[in-house]
């Protein structure tokens, strides 16, 4: 699976030509999105939507190289996906693209997508109406601002299905920055909230930015790994599936820094760089079946070549 992706031409045309999205990286401003206005939503769509598309396409693509998982997924004609803090939904389009490419039996995908920002949600709604494919895609974007436990429970209670994929991409750092649930590890909390929403063969993906939180002085990957390791150690009904080293090391891992790098090209930028951390978790027996045949000789991901905190944030 390559780590360099080209945004599909039809999406490129719609976002840049029809919606007049703007490519302009604004690393400071994009740290906080829930209250951004329509103009910033256009900037998010032109700059960060393509990155999110590529991240999701690559992560799910790598997972679908696992023959056990690909076989399970190929038995479905319908899939249910939930996206928590979907923004403009780049990761939704990324996962749909790769599922469509790899799963010939897939006929329909239903997506429940939640986010606080009404302008982001509006873009996602309009984009979702543009699908012109031989599979039936139904995206149901909803505006939810989460600041209390009750908000979170209301969101979960508003769903009425079990999901094959639950995702939350690059959003939980905003909860940390704004002190939403300040006394809890947000990655552990959101995983505990949504894992019960998974189908027995479902998977939860949480990704986030790989840099340091300014207030806490700690890198998001370190907070994430601490939270997930704590969850897995205290609840033996779940295991990490991907990145594979976590499956083998999570019970004794002292915590690590990790990041992965993905490139995306589109009409406004060649090889735009995106740096993220992520983990995929599922039910213990399902994950163990998916790991059958995967070598236990896995280099700890903290030692991956990209897991270098000092790699500069610039395109190749
Ligand atoms: C960086 S964006 C990521 C969007 C999308 N998941 C992606 O990967 O492109 C973070 C999203 O989290 C949402 N968000 C942040 N805090 C939130 C909260 N307390 N409740 C609901 N959504 C929130 C923002 O509105 C924003 O759309």
Q: Whose CA is nearest to atom 13 of ligand 1?
A: 85
Query: Is 162 in contact with 203 (CB distance < 8 Å)?
Result: no
DSSP 301: G
Angle CA(130)–CA(47)–CA(51) in degrees, nearest 5? 80
Give the nearest ligand 1 atom to 86 CA: 6
**Ligand 1 pocket: which residues have CB below 6 Å?**
33-34, 48, 52, 85-87, 90-91, 115-117, 120, 144-147, 169-171, 174-175, 180
For 248-298, the pLDDT digits (tens) are 999 999 888 999 999 999 999 999 999 999 999 999 999 999 999 999 988
CA 112 to ligand 1 center in whole angstroms: 15
CA dist., res. 237 & res. 286, Å (int): 10
| Total count of domains within the chain | 1
CA dist., res. 248 & res. 48, Å (int): 33
Which residues, in sequence order, are CB contacts of 16 under 8 Å at separation 6+? Answer: 23, 46, 266, 267, 268
For 191-246, the pLDDT digits (tens) are 999 999 999 999 999 999 999 999 999 999 999 999 999 999 999 999 999 999 99
Cβ neighbours of 295 (radius 10 Å): 8
Mutation choice for ligand 1 from 21, 27, 52, 115, CB with most ligand atoms inside 8 A: 115
For the chain, what's the residue count?
Answer: 316
CA 47 to ligand 1 center in whole angstroms: 15
Whole-number pLDDT of residue 313: 67
Whole-number pLDDT of residue 314: 58
| CATH code, domain carrying 276 | 3.40.50.150
List Cα–Cα distances, 48 to 22, 75, 217, 302, in angstroms.
Answer: 10, 33, 24, 26
Give the nearest ligand 1 atom to 151 CA: 20
Give the nearest ligand 1 atom to 180 CA: 19
| Domain span holding position 95 | 4-313
Which residues, in sequence order, are CB contacts of 183 under 8 Å at separation 6+? Answer: none
pTM over 0.85: yes
Q: Are strands 78-84 and 238-242 parallel, antiparallel or unpaired?
A: unpaired
CA 28 to ligand 1 center in whole angstroms: 15
CA 251 to ligand 1 center in whole angstroms: 30
CA 299 to ligand 1 center in whole angstroms: 32
Structure-token match 């990324």, residue found: 94
pLDDT confidence tier of residue 304, bands split at 50, 70 and 90: confident
């Amino acid at each position: 699976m390559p780590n360099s992706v080209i945004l599909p031409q039809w999406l490129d045309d719609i976002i840049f030509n029809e919606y007049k999205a703007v490519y302009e990286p604004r690393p400071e401003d994009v740290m906080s999105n829930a209250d951004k206005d329509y103009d910033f939503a256009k900037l998010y769509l032109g700059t960060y939507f393509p990155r999110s598309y590529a991240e999701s396409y690559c992560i799910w693509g790598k997972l679908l190289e696992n023959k056990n998982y690909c076989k399970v997924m190929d038995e479905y004609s319908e899939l249910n996906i939930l996206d928590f803090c979907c923004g403009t939904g780049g990761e939704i389009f990324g996962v749909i693209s790769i599922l469509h490419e790899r799963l010939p039996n897939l006929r329909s995908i239903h997506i429940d997508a939640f986010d606080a920002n009404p302008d982001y949600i509006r873009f996602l709604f309009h984009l979702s109406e543009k699908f012109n494919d031989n599979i039936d895609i139904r995206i149901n974007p909803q505006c939810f601002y989460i600041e209390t436990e009750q908000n979170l429970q209301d969101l979960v209670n508003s769903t009425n299905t079990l999901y094959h994929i639950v995702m939350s991409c690059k959003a939980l750092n905003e909860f940390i920055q704004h002190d939403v649930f300040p006394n809890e590890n947000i990655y552990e909390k959101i995983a505990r909230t949504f894992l019960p929403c998974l189908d027995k063969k479902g998977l939860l993906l949480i990704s986030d930015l790989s840099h340091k939180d300014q207030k806490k002085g700690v890198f998001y990957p370190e907070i994430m790994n601490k939270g997930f390791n704590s969850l897995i150690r205290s609840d033996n009904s779940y295991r990490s599936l991907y990145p594979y080293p976590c499956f083998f090391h999570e019970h004794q891992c002292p915590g690590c820094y990790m990041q992965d790098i993905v490139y995306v090209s589109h009409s406004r930028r060649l090889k735009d760089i995106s740096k993220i951390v992520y983990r995929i978790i599922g039910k213990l027996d399902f994950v163990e079946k998916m790991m059958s045949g995967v070598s236990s000789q896995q280099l700890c991901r903290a030692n991956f070549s990209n897991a270098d905190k000092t790699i500069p944030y610039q395109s190749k």
